[in-house]
Amino acid sequence: MLHPKSGHDERVVMSPMPELPNVVFDEASDAADPNLSLITTDPPAVLPYQPNPQATTTQSQAARARESIPTACLACRSKHLKCDGARPCARCRASGSDCAFVASRRGYKGPKRGGGGGARGASQQKHHPNKRRATSPLSQDGSSSTDFFAAVAPAPAPSVTQPGVAMCLASKGRGGGGSSQSPSSSGPVTPGSSTSVSQTFRVLGAGDTDGSTWDMSPQDRSVSTKSSSLSLAERCFESFYFHFHAAHPFVLPKDFMVRFLHDPSLEPLLSAMRWVGSLFIDVPAARNSLFDEAWQRVHEPQNARDGFLVQAMMVLIVGMDGVTLNERARELLLEVEKLAVEIALNTRPFAMFHGRGVPVLEESWRRTWWDLLVIDGMIAGVHRMTTFALYDTPTDVALPCEEHEFLSGAIPPPRYLEDLEDQEFLDDSAPPFSSFAYRILCARNLGKLMRTPPITDPADDNLVRVETLLTNWRLHLPPSKRNPLDGHTGRVDEMLFQAHMMLHATSIILHQPHSQLDSSPAANITSCAPHQAVKANARPAFNPHTRHTIEAATAISRLVTLPVPSLTTHTHFFTCVLTLSSIVHLSKWALHFVQYDDDDLRQLLRLNVGALSELARVWPAADRSRGQVRGVASEVYKAKKSVQAGPQFWFGLTREQVMSSIAADDGIIEDVSSS
């Protein structure tokens, strides 16, 4: 058609309609976030063709755009070499290197504001129902003008959803071969190595995925497609939730987190989650870059000093402590403690003011404060290098609910710490507190021990007072909470597991200095805490403190026998508690005058060393502890053999007793060395 004034041909060249996945749109769920409303159909639904008057790209331009390489793999990027974009690329195939891709942020300017204004904007939204909407501005109290959740409970699990929330199948083995890989602590993050939320979590069918169906059932966590369709960032995101989240459950549950992915304030948290998730899967070449990216993002000056930044730091602290970056983890712990108090995370109104009217987000903020207190206590207890500063910080934050309530979003009315500490005076008909609440009480009991003046006399009233706290914790547990194994589901309650773990560790710290178990044979076990000398009592009979110490160490070893898919699903702090238990077992083995069941002690040491070997598949700290325990066991064995060389050692024993004792010692050292 000729323009009436210029006479030029004003013909508009329309771009071809892009191929759409076989989907329909659920308008009800689209109100919350259109990117979460895709569901499969069989047979495929046909969407009407809607011409876009703004499209001016020719077919050849579109083809060239499709042929361009959006990013280079990490190996090529680090060497500044051209990458062909194949998965794996030609260079990595030739060199046998791991080929990992992280989406680039180059040119990314954040999520686009959609639709324009007035009728024209409304028309465009109608024609493009899968277009991402911009985040609504926050009000003065931190809430959003847009209700992100249409209901309290998560939306029904779609059979096709964002690939970033698909369960990761890329892990090779339970530990992913990450036992010896420690993240780099130096070097800047290259501009192309960062991963934006909008690029990482694409709508299925619009990226490089194959359109397969994902089963989002939280019970079996199964998938029905190839793991190769997931990018590195997506695999790490899934790995974080599958392997780590249950041990420190303060980040939003995955079904809710995916609705916040377009919020730019989550970038530091997502970066930290990706790095920790990478520790559990077989991507050793990418871990250094992911750690550098997470560290840099957490420390960017423009970051909002909010609860999401606190969560990002907490995720990093736990991961860094597990990969033996202990000093940097402690420095970051000091930073996050100051930030938490600065933003008033320790106060009751914080959850309401910053919860955006969403109960599950309010619960996440409450859990963030309490899990930070537990992490602070665990680091202080197992490393004995910090002071548990948050124990003295005043707080009136409500207690967390049960885990299944948090995961479903059905948050009950909150309860408070003063009720928990006075629970023996409550009505018997009152419902039990959550497992998380009893975990908090154990952390506070550890804090009370750490605030106790030095105890030099075994009859000190302070020692009796702390033991009374530990005994009362056990006595006042509801019947349903007395075993970490849930009697209804048959699964381990991770919060109760950690509570019992802290209880027994506190008992060892309290009683071991006054026991008859000389710790000097284990002086070289310093992987978790410096050696603390114990003045052993020379009397041949066990005193009560020795009995308390041995029983607590035995109970820790028994925790290993609880049925879990992998010990790596427990908090990594279990490593140091196992090490503490092993020191007790080795001290007992080193005794020459005590009669004990050699086979029982042999099995307990085997449990501990075997558990450390399992944890070492992910956590280098566990590998270091295992090596030291093995070394001390070898020294104890040599010392016992030296003492047994004298004929007076066997005086009064029969030949059978002598042979049995020698065989038991040989069996213990063989088992420990081979685990």
For residue range 51-71, what is the model confidence (pLDDT) as tens digits? Answer: 444 444 444 444 444 444 456
Write down the pLDDT at residue 570: 96
**Mind spelling out the 3-state secondary structure of 602-636?**
HHHHHHHHHHHHHHCCCCHHHHHHHHHHHHHHHHH
Residues 388 and 449: their CA atoms lie apart, in Å, by 11
Distance of CA 166 to the CA centre of its chain: 17
**DSSP classification of residue 481:** G
d(CA 344, CA 352): 12
- Whether 368 maps to a domain, the answer reads no
Kindly list the distances between the CA atom of residue 457 and the CA atoms of 460, 466, 514, in Å, as whole numbers in the listed order. 5, 14, 8
Residue 205 has pLDDT above 70, yes or no: no
Q: Is the pLDDT of residue 411 over 90?
A: yes
CB 244 within 8 A of CB 571: no
User: Over pLDDT 70: what percentage of the chain?
Assistant: 63
Residue 147: inside a domain, yes or no?
no
pLDDT score for 564? 92
What pLDDT was estimated at residue 260?
A: 87
> What tokens were used for 385?
């290098």
- Predicted local confidence at residue 206, as pLDDT: 28
Selection from 545, 648, 557 nearest residue 606 by Cα: 557
For residue 583, tell me if it sits in a domain.
yes
Q: What amino acid occupies position 41?
A: T
Average pLDDT over residues 258-283: 94
Q: Per-residue confidence at 427, pLDDT binned at 50, 70, 90?
A: low
- For residue range 457-490, what is the model confidence (pLDDT) as tens digits? 888 899 999 999 999 999 989 888 988 988 778 8
**How far apart (Å, rounded) are the C-alpha atoms in residues 625 and 620?**
9
Average pLDDT over residues 598-603: 78
- Does the residue 135 lie in any domain? no
Average pLDDT of the segment spanning 558-572:
94
* Average pLDDT value for the chain: 74
Range with the lowest mean pLDDT among 170-184, 392-406, 618-632?
Answer: 170-184
The gap from C-alpha 545 to its chain's centroid, in whole angstroms, comes to: 35
- What are residue 492's phi and psi, to 5 degrees? -75, 130
CA atoms within 13 A on the CB side of 511: 27
Q: What does DSSP assign to residue 110?
A: S
Region 442-458 average pLDDT: 92
Q: Please indicate, yes or no, if residue 254 is contained in any of the structural domains.
A: no
**Are 358 and 387 within 8 A, CB to CB?**
no
Q: Is the pLDDT of residue 290 over 80?
A: yes
* Per-residue pLDDT at 519: 82
Report if residue 641 sits inside a domain: yes
**What's the domain count of the chain?**
1
Q: Is the pLDDT of residue 587 over 60?
A: yes
Statement: residue 50 has pLDDT above 50: no
Q: What is the per-residue pLDDT for 539?
A: 53
**What are the beta bridge partners of residue 39?**
24
Q: How far apart are the first and last CA of the chain?
A: 82
Output the pLDDT for position 331. 96
Predicted local distance difference test score (pLDDT) of residue 284: 93
| Amino acid found at 194 | S
More confidently predicted of 507 and 106:
507
Question: Residue 540 has what pLDDT?
Answer: 52
Q: Write the DSSP assignment of 268-314 as a string of letters.
A: HHHHHHHHHHHTTTT-HHHHHHHHHHHHHHHT-TTS--SHHHHHHHH
In a domain, 31, yes or no: no
Tokens 């060249």 found at: 13
pLDDT for 417 beyond 50: yes
Fill in the DSSP letter of residue 52: -
Taking a C-beta distance cutoff of 8 angstroms, is the pair 164, 233 a contact?
A: yes
Determine, yes or no, domain membership for 418: no
For residue 640, the enclosing domain spans 513-674
pLDDT in tens, 141-153: 444 434 444 434 4
Q: How far apart are the C-alpha atoms of 306 and 603, rounded to whole Å? A: 48
Rounded percentage of the chain residues whose pLDDT exceeds 90: 44
Cβ-Cβ contacts under 8 Å for 73 (sequence gap 6 or more): 83, 88, 89, 92, 99, 100, 101
The radius of gyration of the chain's CA atoms, rounded to the nearest angstrom, is 29
Nearest-10 Cα torsion for 421, 427, 428, 434? -40
